[in-house]
Amino acid sequence: MRFLFKTDYEDDIRLFPHSGYFVSYGLLLAVLLIAPYVLSSYLMSQLVFVCIYATVGVALLILTGFTGQASLGHAAFLAIGAYTAAYLQKYGVPFPVYFLAAGLLTGLIGALVGFPALRLQGIYLVIATISFAFIVEEILARWESVTNGNEGMRIKAVSLFGVAVSRDSPTFYFLCLAVLVLTIVGTLNLLRSPTGRAFVAIRDSETAARSMGVNVALYKVKSFAISAAITGFAGVLFAHKLSFISPEMFTLQLSIEFIIVILIGGTFSLHGAVLGAIFIVMIDPFLTYLKDDMPGIIAGIAATFGAGTQAAANVQSKVAAFASLNGLKGAIYGIIIVLFVLFEPLGLYGRWLKIKLFFQLFPLYKRATFKRQKIYVKSERNR
Amino acid sequence: MSYFRAESLSLHFGGLKAVDAVSFAVEKGEILSIIGPNGAGKSSIFNLISRIYRPTSGRIFFENQDITEQPPHDIARLGIARTFQNIELFENATVLSNLLVGRHRHSTTQLWQELLFLPSVRADEKVHRRRVEQVIEFLDLEPYRDKLISGLPYGVRKVIELARALCSEPKLILLDEPSSGLNVEETSDMSFWIRDLKNELGVTVLMVEHDMSLVNRVSDRVIALNYGRVLAMGSPAEVQQHPDVVAAYLGA
C-alpha cells in the first residue's frame, strides 16, 4: 500500500495524485492508440460505440450521478445532436462548425428542459423527461421538411481538412476517443471546482446548498445544459458512425440503455461511465450469440439425455420462439438493473475497488469491510 | 441602528401563529440566545431569516439593508451562515468537500474557466483550501478531513456543520441548537468554540438553544419565546427569573 504525505494544497487538486497513475493511464492510452492496428474491424466498430456510449454516460453522470436529477430523455438529446449534424451537413456546413452547433443547440434545449425540472423531483422528473423524449421522437417523425420523417436521413462521412474520414477508419475512432477524453477531462475539472461541488451539494441536500449560497435553480439548469450539450456532441458522432438516422433509433429503449451504462458502471465515479459503456456495447453481440446458438445447444443437450429426434427438434423450435420474443432484450436489461441495484449498488467500478483493496490488504482483507456501507445503502432505499 | 434587526416578524400557518409580531435586535459582536419550550417558534424565526419560509408580515434588516425579499441563496452571500437542528450535511461527500461548499459564496470563477481549469481557478482553489484548513485546525477536525460524512458519528457531524458555516467567513452565524445530541464533554467543547467565534473571529452569534447551562455560559443576552411571542429579553439571569418565563416552563 502506498501512503501519500500531503505537503501542498496542490496535492488535493491534481488529477493524478501520484506517479503510479501516469504509468497505468499511460499504458491504457498506449493500448488504445495501437488498438486500430491490431483489432479486427468488428471489434474496432464496437470500440467506437464504447467511446460514444461512454461520452453519453459521462453526460448522464453529471446530471444523475452528481446533481441527483434523473433523466430518461437522453436519447432525445442524442437525436437532436444527430439531426442537427445531418441537417447542417446537407447545406454544406463544415464538420467543426456543425459539430459545435449541434452541441450548443442541444445544450440550449437541455437548459429549457431544465426549467420545468426545477419544480419536479424523483419519479416525477423521470416522467417529465420521458415525455420530453416522446415529444422529440414525434417531432422527428412529423417534421418532414427538416427531418425527412420516418424515411430518415443519410449523413455523409466526416470531412476533416478537406479529407473524407470513413466511419470505419482509425481516424474516426481517434476522433471519438478524443471527444471522450476531452469530455472526461472537462468533467473532472468541473468536479474539482465550485460548480461541481455545488452539483454534489444539490444532490445531497438542497436546503443546505441554498443556505450556503448556492443558487439551486441556476445550477440545476446548468447541469441540464452541460449534460445535454455533451450528449449532443456524442449525437453527431453517433450519426456519423451509423451514416443513417431515423426516429425509431432514438426510442425510450436507448435512454434506458444510457441509464444502464451508469447504473452498472457505478454512479459515483467517471470510471463507471466507461465500464458501463463497455458492458452495454459488449452484451449486445453476446445476446445475439445466445439467440442464434442457444436453441441448437439446448436441443443437443436434450438429445444426449435421451430425447428422441422429434422431441429435440420440438425443444429447439420452442426455445428459438422464446429467444425471438419481442421485448425479451428489454426484459433482460430490466433484470440486470434489478440485480445490480440489489447486490452491487456501487456498480462495476465499486466491485473493481473492492477487488483492488483485496490485493492491497492481502491477506488481511475482511469481508465485513463493506458490510456497513451496504446495510446503510439498503436501509436508505426504504425511506 | 442595530446590526441585525427583526421588526414585528410574523409567520402564520392558517390560524396557527408560529411567530407572532416578534421584534428583536442583535448588536455587532454579541451572542444572543433564543430560548423557549418546544413549538415556541424558535427554529421558525431562523427559517424566516434564511428565507426557507416567507414571513406573513414584518421586515428583516441586516447592516441597514432590508433583506426580507432577498432570495435564499443571497442571504449567505450577504454573510449570514447557519447550521441546522437536524444536521443537513452532504452525506456522500468527504468532510473536505463539505467544507469547500461553505466557500461557495466566495467563488468568482466562470463555468468555462472551470471546464479548462485555468490558472485563475487553480489559484482560487488554493485560497479556498487554505481557509478551509484554518477552520479545520480551529475546530480540531484534522482526523476526519478525508472521511465520508455517512460514516461519521453524530457529535462530529454537528461540529462539521459549524465548520461549514464558518468556512463561508460569515459576519452573522445562526446556530440552531448547537448542543442537541451532544454529550457533556462535547457540549463544553462547543461552548468554548462559540465563545471563540465571538472573541477570536469577531463573528456575531444568534443561537437557539435548550441547554440552559450552555446558554448561561456563552450568551450576552437572552430572548425567551412562547407561542410565537416574546416573553422576556435581557441578561441570562434576568430572563430566567422573569415570572412569565418560569410560568411557561413550569406551568403557573
Q: Which pLDDT does position A383 carry in this prediction?
A: 42
- Determine the 3-state secondary structure of B18 from DSSP: strand
Whether the Cβ atoms of residue B163 and residue B136 lie closer than 8 Å to each other: yes
> In this predicted complex, what is the ipTM?
0.91
Distance CA A302, CA A316 (A): 9
- Determine the 3-state secondary structure of B247 from DSSP: helix
Distance CA A259, CA A264 (A): 8
Which B residues in the span 25-84 are in contact with A, Cβ-Cβ below 8 Å?
Answer: 50, 52, 71-77, 81-82, 84
Is the pLDDT at A267 greater than 80? The verdict is yes
CB nearest to B84's CB, from A189, A190, A208:
A208
Encode burial over B47-65: b for 16+ CB neighbours within 10 A, e otherwise. bbbbbbbebeebebbbbee
What are phi and psi for residue B39, nearest 5 degrees? Answer: 75, 15
How deeply is A142 buried, as exposed, middle or buried, from its count of CB atoms within 10 A (0-12, 13-18, 19+)?
A: exposed
- Nearest CA to B82 out of B162, B191, B182, B181 is that of B162
Distance CA B32, CA A332 (A): 62
CB contact under 8 A, A212 and B168: yes
If you average pLDDT over each of A157-166, A231-240, A304-313, which comes out highest? Answer: A231-240
Report chain B residues whose CB lies below 8 A from the CB of A197.
93, 97, 100-101, 104
CB nearest to B121's CB, from A193, A204, A210:
A193
How far is the alpha carbon of B192 from chain A, nearest alpha carbon, in Å? 24
Encode burial over A213-250: b for 16+ CB neighbours within 10 A, e otherwise. bbbbbebbbbbbbbbbbbbbbbbbbbbbbbeebbbebb
pLDDT tens for each residue of chain B, 252 residues long: 689 999 999 999 988 899 999 999 999 999 999 998 888 889 899 999 998 899 999 999 999 899 999 999 999 999 999 999 888 999 888 999 999 999 999 998 899 999 999 999 999 999 999 999 999 999 999 999 989 998 898 989 999 999 999 999 999 999 999 998 899 999 999 999 999 999 999 999 999 998 888 999 999 999 999 988 999 999 999 998 898 888 888 875
Rg (CA), chain B: 19
Distance CA A59, CA A230 (A): 6
Whether the Cβ atoms of residue A155 and residue A86 lie closer than 8 Å to each other: yes
Helix axes B184-199, B154-167, angle to 10 degrees: 10
- Determine the 3-state secondary structure of A110 from DSSP: helix
- Determine the 3-state secondary structure of A237 from DSSP: helix
- Nearest CA to B220 out of B27, B85, B62 is that of B27
Distance CA B11, CA B48 (A): 8
CB contact under 8 A, B50 and A211: yes
Contact B130/A at CB under 8 A: yes
